[in-house]
Chain A
Amino acid sequence: MNKVTLLNRITNRIRQSLELKEILAATVTEMRAFLGTDRVKVYRFAADATGQVIAESVDMKRLPALQGLYFPAADVPPHARAMFIKARVRSIIDVPAQRIILNCMEYPSTTEDLTVEQVLSKSSADIFERMVAPCHVEYLTYMGVQSSLVVPILHGNKLWGLLAAHHAEPKAFSQEQLDIVQMISDQVSIAIAQSHLLYQAREQARRETLINQISTLLHAPVQIKEILQTVLEQLVKALEGTGGRLYLTSTNGPEGTLYTYGTQPDLFEGGNQILLEEYPFWQQLMHNQAPGTVEQCDIADSRVVIGADDDSQMVQIARSGLQPQAIADIYSEPQLLQIISYFRPTRIRSLLVMPLRYGEQPLGCLSIFRDEINTDIPWAGKFDPDERNQPVRHSFEVWQQQKQGQSREWTREEIEFVRELGTNLTLSVMQNRLYQYEHEQRILVERRNQELNTARTAAEEANRLKSDFLSSTSHELRTPLASTLNYLKLLQEGFYDNEEELKEYINVAYQSTENLVAIINDILDIAQIEAGRMNVNLEIINLHFMLEEQCNLFRLESRSKQIVLAIECEVENVYADKIKLRQIFTNLLFNAFKFTSNGGKICVRVVTKARENKQVVEISISDNGIGIDPAKQNLLFEPFVQEDGSIKRRYGGTGLGLTVCQRLVKLMGGEIGLHSAGRGKGTTVIFTLPVP
């Protein structure tokens, strides 16, 4: 087969897929067919230098299958790995001849077995031709291999794995075959690089999709509480965690908000729920004091072990801004010793904490838990580390190693994912807080505006009433004053014709002045009460004495108008101001006598009554006088208001009497009301006072 055609065929098969598994399977199949060996395998190194056969094509009649098996780190010793990197060699071993040819294409040569240091210090030319070490020969022999061809697979500058061809019998490889194998290895390296890029791109896309989904969710028109719970759930699932919690500090108090999902540490102690986030580890993170010392890390690697001592496992991605703290094994983390007992009842093994902070303001933190895992590793042959001096294993018999309580490292991608999400979460929480704040402020402003409006309306109303009162006062004072002045002027000018007229003028002037004094007294009373300057001197007053006093006062009136004044007093005492209560009685009785025609009846009745679960003294003064139009009854307590103009003309008065009574009753903690069935049907005024 033409060399170029063959290479094209293999290259095409490799390029048909971007999936590493398929590429490697195709590679080993094609290569075994090409070389005609019993086995072609791809061996991949792990970080701890152990390795696993991840692709194999084998003739199982001649050699055992190794697919999936792990080999200990010592099987490919450090100097051998270093040599693969430095010299990019192929090693071709012919076991019967005990020769190893380390072939660097340009310099085919052999040397003795070397140490890593020797490999690194020697020039490439010196290490190419040597005898194969006896132990290596022994190793291959036990594997059943007589001929071996091994080519390194490099990824970047690192040794990714080995492409090996084994044959149960001695076999020679032609130069052309070696060239082709080398080219295949190069193609595999390229394919791995591409596949790796694809994987990274896919991972990136997956994370971005998740972040987009969560960002969309964060701005959904749903209650923030529901959103945050959902985000937490999605996040825990995306990180393959078993539980998580999101703690947010409170904006106006010590109590924060906690969202939990899945497995939680056992935080009950003495019946109380303990808040994990109150412990120093979380507090320091939230308050921008990284636990331990943060070292600047190697940018190329982006991973750094931080902590005051070497035990700390925390991995941090060094970037400006907030960093998640990733702890693979919480039981190995000294800073979690204080709280580790809460985790013991659970299978939680790994912890990832992302602080949320806006500027210097701590907003809370996000914690993700991951359970411990158990792994089964199929090893190819026993390897006893205590027998290191006996480097060659005699058996490749498969055995299963069970590793329990394993922690899973947080990958750089996972940490970066949480960091990005934390930023989104922070912005969203902050936005929500600002919105809430703005909302509250708006409500506050609205309420204040309402209060101001109410206050303004009240002030305007008070102002209008005051202005009305002033206007009425002016009018009511000027009218009697005009009369007084008129008659004094007539007297002064001597415009009277006889003694009788003189007396009449003096009389009118005198009465007008008296009237003026009464009005001034009422107005001053009201003004004083309005201004809050009226003092009440509450005391226990005997009602019987007071009513008797009133009877004496109105005896003359009662007799002259033939009006019966009946007193029915069932209450002994009342709690009131003596002078003011007397004024109320006099005012009301004066009205009753004024508006009751000759031969009528006035009744004062005093009883105790329950009003709104309170005992009060109720005093009613009823007459069978002219009565009041029911529509006007409520207006009569307003200053200067009388039922209508005719009342003033017929009965006089200023319309201040009831107003003064009302203010005085209120001042003593009572209420006053007026009732009349209508014109000509009598009037009853009822007021209450507190019981002593």
Chain B
Amino acid sequence: MKILLVDDDYLLAKGTAKLIERLGGHQVVISDEPAEIFRICLEKEVDIVLMDVNLPAAQWEDREVSGVDISRLLKTDPQTAQIPIILITAYAMLSEREKLLSDSQADGFWAKPITDYRALLESMNRVHQARLTV
């Protein structure tokens, strides 16, 4: 699988990417630039997106955008709608989860810090397989 990891904390993202590559044998691309994210998705270079929510410096069309906004934009564009998106965020409180999921229209939700990478990888596989069978 080719994976796009969206996170503004580069050191954190680097560690996450390395773990996914080594544990799951996947290929990981890191980005926190909305333009780059949309391009990668449009060019079908990825099978799944792991999306952070808090992207303080992210701008799209002169507006500050969060991971939730980018996710929604991807999901509402027919060309990218089929790409599975899993939110990975430190906004992990139960009360916030529902709203984040419905606003982003993402396919799954994982809380930071990720404690069980194997479970995450299984989940990613499931979502990816489900996409392929549809």
Chain A positions near chain B (C-beta within 8 angstroms): 470-471, 474-479, 481-487, 489-490, 493, 495, 505, 508, 512, 642, 644-646, 648-649
**Cross-chain contact A471 with B91 (CB below 8 angstroms):** yes
A residues in contact with B111, CB < 8 Å: 478
A residues in contact with B8, CB < 8 Å: 645, 649
**Cross-chain contact B23 with A474 (CB below 8 angstroms):** no
Check A474/B12 contact, CB under 8 A, given A482-B112, A493-B22. no
**Cross-chain contact B92 with A490 (CB below 8 angstroms):** no
**Cross-chain contact B15 with A487 (CB below 8 angstroms):** yes
| Bound-state Cα–Cα, A177 to B103, Å | 125
**Cross-chain contact A474 with B18 (CB below 8 angstroms):** no
| Bound-state Cα–Cα, A481 to B115, Å | 10
**Cross-chain contact B112 with A493 (CB below 8 angstroms):** no
Q: Closest residue to B8 on the A side, CB-wise?
A: A649
**Cross-chain contact A495 with B19 (CB below 8 angstroms):** yes
Check A483/B11 contact, CB under 8 A, given A644-B56, A645-B55. yes
B residues in contact with A505, CB < 8 Å: 15
| Bound-state Cα–Cα, A648 to B12, Å | 14
| Bound-state Cα–Cα, A276 to B92, Å | 80
Q: Kindly state whether residue B40 has any CB partner on chain A within 8 Å.
A: no
Tell me which residues from 29 to 79 in chain B have a Cβ below 8 Å from any Cβ of chain A: 54-58, 64
Q: How many A-B residue pairs have CB under 8 A?
A: 80
**Cross-chain contact B56 with A489 (CB below 8 angstroms):** no
Closest chain B CB from A334 CB (angstroms):
86
| Bound-state Cα–Cα, A649 to B54, Å | 12
Chain B positions near chain A (C-beta within 8 angstroms): 8-9, 11-12, 15-16, 18-19, 22-23, 54-58, 64, 89-93, 96, 111-115, 117
**Cross-chain contact B15 with A478 (CB below 8 angstroms):** no
Given contacts A478-B112, A495-B22, 9 further A-B contacts (CB under 8 A): A471-B93, A475-B90, A482-B90, A484-B113, A486-B113, A644-B56, A645-B58, A646-B57, A649-B57
| Bound-state Cα–Cα, A471 to B111, Å | 13
B residues in contact with A512, CB < 8 Å: 11
| Bound-state Cα–Cα, A482 to B5, Å | 15
B residues in contact with A481, CB < 8 Å: 112-113
Q: Closest residue to B58 on the A side, CB-wise?
A: A645
A residues in contact with B11, CB < 8 Å: 483, 508, 512
Check A474/B22 contact, CB under 8 A, given A482-B114, A486-B113, A489-B117. no
Chain B CB within 10 A, most for which of A479, A481, A482: A482
A residues in contact with B19, CB < 8 Å: 486, 489-490, 493, 495
Check A645/B56 contact, CB under 8 A, given A471-B91, A479-B90, A495-B22. yes
**Cross-chain contact A483 with B56 (CB below 8 angstroms):** no
Closest chain B CB from A480 CB (angstroms):
9
B residues in contact with A483, CB < 8 Å: 9, 11-12, 15, 113
Check A482/B113 contact, CB under 8 A, given A495-B18, A644-B56, A646-B57. yes
Closest chain A CB from B117 CB (angstroms):
7
| Bound-state Cα–Cα, A484 to B15, Å | 9
| Bound-state Cα–Cα, A617 to B11, Å | 44
- 7 pairs across A/B with beta carbons < 8 Å? A474-B92, A475-B89, A475-B91, A478-B113, A486-B15, A493-B19, A493-B22
| Bound-state Cα–Cα, A662 to B8, Å | 29
Chain B CB within 10 A, most for which of A470, A483, A486, A512: A486
B residues in contact with A645, CB < 8 Å: 8, 55-58, 64
Check A478/B92 contact, CB under 8 A, given A486-B19, A508-B11, A645-B58. yes
Q: Closest residue to A474 on the B side, CB-wise?
A: B93
B residues in contact with A508, CB < 8 Å: 11, 15
Closest chain A CB from B100 CB (angstroms):
11
| Bound-state Cα–Cα, A521 to B57, Å | 26
**Cross-chain contact A490 with B18 (CB below 8 angstroms):** yes
Closest chain A CB from B102 CB (angstroms):
17
Closest chain A CB from B125 CB (angstroms):
19
A residues in contact with B55, CB < 8 Å: 645
**Cross-chain contact B56 with A482 (CB below 8 angstroms):** no
Closest chain B CB from A632 CB (angstroms):
13
State the 4 A-B residue pairs at the shortest beta-carbon distance, nearest first.
A645-B56, A486-B15, A482-B113, A478-B90
Q: Closest residue to A642 on the B side, CB-wise?
A: B56
Chain A CB within 10 A, most for which of B23, B112, B114: B112
Closest chain A CB from B9 CB (angstroms):
7
Check A479/B112 contact, CB under 8 A, given A487-B15, A490-B19. yes
Chain A CB within 10 A, most for which of B15, B92, B112, B114: B15
Check A479/B93 contact, CB under 8 A, given A486-B113, A493-B23, A648-B56. no
B residues in contact with A475, CB < 8 Å: 54, 89-92
Instruction: Report which of B12, B56, B96 forms a contact with A649, defined as CB distance below 8 A.
Output: B56
A residues in contact with B64, CB < 8 Å: 644-645
| Bound-state Cα–Cα, A487 to B14, Å | 9
Check A485/B93 contact, CB under 8 A, given A490-B19, A495-B18, A649-B57. no
Closest chain B CB from A107 CB (angstroms):
119
**Cross-chain contact B96 with A471 (CB below 8 angstroms):** yes
| Bound-state Cα–Cα, A482 to B92, Å | 12
**Cross-chain contact A486 with B90 (CB below 8 angstroms):** no
A residues in contact with B56, CB < 8 Å: 642, 644-646, 648-649
**Cross-chain contact B91 with A474 (CB below 8 angstroms):** yes
A residues in contact with B115, CB < 8 Å: 485
| Bound-state Cα–Cα, A219 to B93, Å | 66
B residues in contact with A471, CB < 8 Å: 91, 93, 96
Q: Closest residue to A507 on the B side, CB-wise?
A: B11
B residues in contact with A479, CB < 8 Å: 9, 12, 90, 112
Closest chain A CB from B64 CB (angstroms):
7
Closest chain A CB from B28 CB (angstroms):
13
| Bound-state Cα–Cα, A479 to B11, Å | 11
A residues in contact with B92, CB < 8 Å: 474-475, 478
Q: Closest residue to A646 on the B side, CB-wise?
A: B57
Q: Closest residue to A647 on the B side, CB-wise?
A: B56
**Cross-chain contact A486 with B16 (CB below 8 angstroms):** yes
B residues in contact with A485, CB < 8 Å: 113-115
B residues in contact with A470, CB < 8 Å: 93
| Bound-state Cα–Cα, A471 to B54, Å | 13
Q: Closest residue to B55 on the A side, CB-wise?
A: A645
Chain B CB within 10 A, most for which of A470, A478, A508: A478
| Bound-state Cα–Cα, A644 to B115, Å | 30
B residues in contact with A495, CB < 8 Å: 18-19, 22
B residues in contact with A646, CB < 8 Å: 56-57
Closest chain A CB from B34 CB (angstroms):
13
| Bound-state Cα–Cα, A174 to B16, Å | 151
Q: Closest residue to A478 on the B side, CB-wise?
A: B90
